[in-house]
Copies of this chain bind each other. A is one copy, B any other.
Amino acid sequence: MFKNPLLEEWSAGRATLNGWLASPCMSTAEVMAHAGWDSLTIDMQHGLADYQTAVAMLTAIATTDVVPLARVPWMDEGIVMRMLDAGCLGVICPMVNSQDEAARLATACRYPPNGRRSYGPIRAALLSGSDYWRHANREVLSIAMIETREALDALDSILDVEELSGVYIGPADLSLALGCEPTFDQEAPIVEDAIEHIITTTKARGKYVGVHNLTPAYARRRAEIGADFVSVSSDLRLMSAAAKAAVAEFHGHGPKHSPPPDDSAASY
The one of B123, B127, B267 in contact with A122, judged by C-beta atoms closer than 8 angstroms, is B267
Q: How many residues of A contact B (CB 8 A)?
A: 101
Q: What residues of B have a CB within 8 angstroms of the CB of A130 in the complex? A: 262, 264-267
Q: What residues of B have a CB within 8 angstroms of the CB of A182 in the complex? A: 111, 119, 133
Q: At the interface with chain B, which of A4-12, A58-66, A153-161, A199-207?
A: A58-66
Q: What residues of B have a CB within 8 angstroms of the CB of A132 in the complex? A: 267
**Is A176 engaged at the interface, CB distance under 8 Å to the other chain?**
yes
Q: What residues of B have a CB within 8 angstroms of the CB of A112 in the complex? A: 148, 176-177
Are B46 and A118 interface neighbours, CB within 8 A? yes
Are B236 and A31 interface neighbours, CB within 8 A? yes
**Is A228 engaged at the interface, CB distance under 8 Å to the other chain?**
no
Q: What residues of B have a CB within 8 angstroms of the CB of A36 in the complex? A: 243-244, 247-248
Interface string of A72-112 (1 = CB under 8 A from B): 11101111011001100000001100000000000000011
A204 to chain B, nearest CB (A): 25
Are A119 and B243 interface neighbours, CB within 8 A? no
Taking each of A47, A124, A242, which has the highest tally of chain B beta carbons within 10 Å of its own beta carbon? A242
**Is A17 engaged at the interface, CB distance under 8 Å to the other chain?**
yes
Q: What residues of B have a CB within 8 angstroms of the CB of A179 in the complex? A: 113
Q: What residues of B have a CB within 8 angstroms of the CB of A239 in the complex? A: 28, 31-32, 235, 238-239, 242
Are B119 and A173 interface neighbours, CB within 8 A? yes
Interface string of A18-38 (1 = CB under 8 A from B): 010011111110111011110
Interface string of A51-71 (1 = CB under 8 A from B): 111011001101100000000
- Residues 220-268 (chain A) with a chain B CB within 8 angstroms: 220, 230, 232-233, 235-236, 238-244, 246-251, 262, 264-268
**Is A172 engaged at the interface, CB distance under 8 Å to the other chain?**
yes
- Residues 125-148 (chain A) with a chain B CB within 8 angstroms: 125-127, 129-133, 147-148
Are B52 and A53 interface neighbours, CB within 8 A? yes
The 6 closest A-B pairs by CB, nearest first: A130-B265, A46-B120, A73-B78, A74-B78, A125-B267, A25-B25
Question: What would 6 A/B residue contacts be, using CB atoms closer than 8 Å?
Answer: A34-B126, A35-B247, A46-B119, A74-B81, A129-B265, A130-B267
